[in-house]
Amino acid sequence: MPAVLVVESAPGRAKDLCDLLTAAGHTARTAGVADAPAAIRTHSPEVVLTDLSADGLDLVKAVRKRHPSIPVLVVAEPGEEERAVDALRAGAANYVSRRTLPHDLLPMLNELMVVFHSQVKRAVFLKRMTGVEYRFELENDPDLIGGVVSQVELVMEQMGLFDDADRMRVGVGIHEAVVNAMVHGNLEVGSDLKAGDWAAYHRAIGERAKQPPYRDRRVTVVVRAERKRELALCVRDQGPGFDPTRLPDPTDADALARGSGRGMLLIRTFFDEVRHNPTGNEITLVKRQHQ
């Protein structure tokens, strides 16, 4: 049974809730809103149960910020439905109406504990996962790229790789690499069109995406991660490729002025190692965890 910290503005209600919880086998303590942060640090409850008094919403926000693994269950008085929604948006896990509290509280606590223990077990399992590999095959649809970036961000978090800023930079680099593979590789639309007419550039992308053989080509993305060591990505298209030795320097002043090669500039800046295969239709990106 979970240990519950009851934070109620009315002492009599706090005692009633503790009696209800202890009768069901829970360990329950009470604290005022002002004392709740110290009580959480001292007693490490598994659940915080609080009403929506004047400071109740602030407590929800504080627990969400400082103890994100502790779920907060709020008690809403009749007519406080909007404040309950605000509490959910601020980080509360659920709310129970004061009117139905004697009937709903215990089942709701049990539901929270099922989710909580599932997350704990998952965290323990993930700590024992030393490496992972994902493989994606994408149509030439830019809307699919966000899903790949989100998955890679999750992998980096699970593998303990990088801080938030570097994870964002990796995401930007992946987006650029996949866009290049789709547009320049599979659809064979050159970036030189950008300098002339952006509308023509996007029109060419839309037309090629519907025409064979361009529409039938796919982009393969392989993601490999080793815990606290490195992230490696391989992006391969099915286009004709190019000569990587003739790839212009993206830091060249003329290239910067034209805006072309911006994607490669970002990729080379954000990753420790960048290399192409000889035919130019595959790029490998490596970022290492620096101590």
Q: How do residues 241-250 score in pLDDT, each as one tens digit?
A: 998 888 766 5
Kindly report, residue by residue over 73-125, the tens digit of the pLDDT.
999 888 888 888 889 989 898 888 888 888 899 988 888 888 777 777 777 77
Sheet holding 282-288, edge to edge: 131-138, 219-226, 230-236, 282-288, 273-276
Torsions phi, psi of 32, nearest 5?
-75, 165
* Structural domain total, the chain: 2
Do residue 197 and residue 151 come from a single domain?
Answer: yes
Do residue 182 and residue 230 come from a single domain?
Answer: yes
Do residue 155 and residue 225 come from a single domain?
Answer: yes
List Cβ neighbours of 13 (8 Å cut-off, separation of 6 or more): 51
CATH number (domain holding residue 260): 3.30.565.10
Do residue 108 and residue 174 come from a single domain?
Answer: no
Distance (Å, rounded) from C-alpha 80 to C-alpha 53?
A: 10
The residue type at 54: A
How high does pLDDT run on average in the chain? 88
3-state per-residue secondary structure call for 173-222: HHHHHHHHHHHHHHCCCCCHHHHHCHHHHHHHHHHHCCCCCHHHCCEEEE
Do residue 46 and residue 23 come from a single domain?
Answer: yes
Domain boundary pick from 89, 124, 159: 124
The pLDDT value recorded for residue 259 is 47
The 3-state DSSP class for residue 133 equals strand
Phi-psi region of 2 (alpha: psi -120 to 50; beta: other; left: phi over 0): beta
Please, are residues 50 and 36 in contact by the beta-carbon 8 Å criterion? yes
Do residue 167 and residue 150 come from a single domain?
Answer: yes
Torsions phi, psi of 16, nearest 5?
-60, -40
Please, are residues 250 and 268 in contact by the beta-carbon 8 Å criterion? yes
Do residue 47 and residue 176 come from a single domain?
Answer: no
Q: Which domain holds residue 99?
A: 3-124
The alpha carbons of the chain give a radius of gyration, in whole angstroms, of 27
List Cβ neighbours of 236 (8 Å cut-off, separation of 6 or more): 181, 219, 220, 221, 222, 281, 282, 283
Distance (Å, rounded) from C-alpha 223 to C-alpha 233?
A: 5
Do residue 115 and residue 176 come from a single domain?
Answer: no
Residue 6 scores a pLDDT above 50: yes
Do residue 47 and residue 90 come from a single domain?
Answer: yes
The pLDDT value recorded for residue 124 is 75
Domain boundary pick from 104, 124, 144: 124
Strand 282-288 versus strand 230-236 pairing type: antiparallel
End-to-end Cα spacing for the chain:
41
Do residue 80 and residue 169 come from a single domain?
Answer: no
Distance (Å, rounded) from C-alpha 74 to C-alpha 59?
A: 10
Most confident of 186-190, 246-250, 252-256, 258-262: 186-190
pTM for the structure as a whole = 0.62
Distance (Å, rounded) from C-alpha 40 to C-alpha 76?
A: 21
- Give the residue-averaged pLDDT of 163-174: 92
Domain boundary pick from 124, 139, 167: 124
Do residue 273 and residue 172 come from a single domain?
Answer: yes
CATH number (domain holding residue 74): 3.40.50.2300
List Cβ neighbours of 150 (8 Å cut-off, separation of 6 or more): none
